[in-house]
């Protein structure tokens, strides 16, 4: 499934947002690793209800873009991984930067 950037941009916003959430939520996620509905909801900061996210995922299952595992994990298929790359512009997931943890002095 060769996915074009034009096709990715034509997707309704909820689908683009859900697909973008995979690398945003887990910057070290490997292809084929899924996220729970609750994790997607968290990554989307309440922009959509949990029910809307679940419905969007079910629509993507019908299109062969994701699979639902154990009734709660949305897992991108090979086609879904191509869509994630197209929606994100092949950009790697944003890296989170945190300061180093200070070692206690009396150690």
Give the three-class secondary structure for 73.
strand
Give the pLDDT confidence of 57-104 residue by residue, as tens digits: 999 999 999 999 999 999 999 999 999 989 988 765 555 678 888 888
Average of pLDDT values for 36-42? 95
Q: What is the pLDDT of residue 31?
A: 83
Question: If residue 66 lies in a helix (H) or strand (E), which one and from where to where?
Answer: strand 66-69
User: Domain 5-87 falls in which CATH fold?
Assistant: Arc Repressor Mutant, subunit A (1.10.10)
Q: What is the pLDDT of residue 68?
A: 97
pLDDT grade, residue 18 (50/70/90)? Answer: very high
Determine the straight-line distance between the first and last CA of the chain, rounded to whole angstroms.
56
Q: In what order do the strands lie in the sheet with 66-69?
A: 35-36, 73-76, 66-69
Instruction: Give residue limits of the domains in the chain.
Output: 5-87
pTM score, whole prediction: 0.81
Residue 90: alpha-carbon gap to chain centroid: 13
């Amino acid at each position: 499934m060769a996915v074009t950037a034009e096709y990715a941009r034509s997707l309704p916003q909820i689908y683009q947002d859900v697909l973008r959430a995979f690398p945003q939520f887990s910057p070290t996620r490997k292809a084929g690793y899924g996220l729970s509905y609750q994790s997607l909801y968290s990554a989307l900061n309440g922009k959509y209800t949990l029910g809307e996210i679940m419905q969007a995922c079910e629509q993507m299952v019908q299109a062969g873009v994701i699979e639902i595992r154990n009734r709660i994990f949305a897992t991108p298929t090979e086609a879904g991984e191509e869509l994630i790359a197209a929606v994100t512009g092949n950009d790697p997931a944003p890296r989170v930067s945190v300061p180093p943890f200070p070692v206690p002095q009396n150690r």
